[in-house]
Amino acid sequence: MLLLYLISQVVTQINGGEVMITNLPETAEIEACTPVDTPLVCNEYDRIIAYYCDLYCIDPALVKVLIEKESEFNPNAVSRSGAIGLMQLMPETAEMLGVKDPYNPWDNIEGGVKFLRTLFDMFDGDLELTLAAYHAGPGLVKRLNRVPPIPETVEYVDYIISRYTPAQRTSYLKLTFTEEGVPLITNRPK
Q: How far apart are CA 172 and CA 64, in angstroms?
A: 18
CA dist., res. 143 & res. 60, Å (int): 29
Cα–Cα distance for residue pair 94/82, rounded to 1 Å: 12
**Cα(125)–Cα(23) distance, integer angstroms:** 34
Name residue 26's amino acid: E
DSSP SS3 for 93:
helix
Q: Is 70 a catalytic residue?
A: yes
- Among the listed residues 70, 92, 95, 155, the single catalytic one is 70
- Catalytically annotated residues: 70
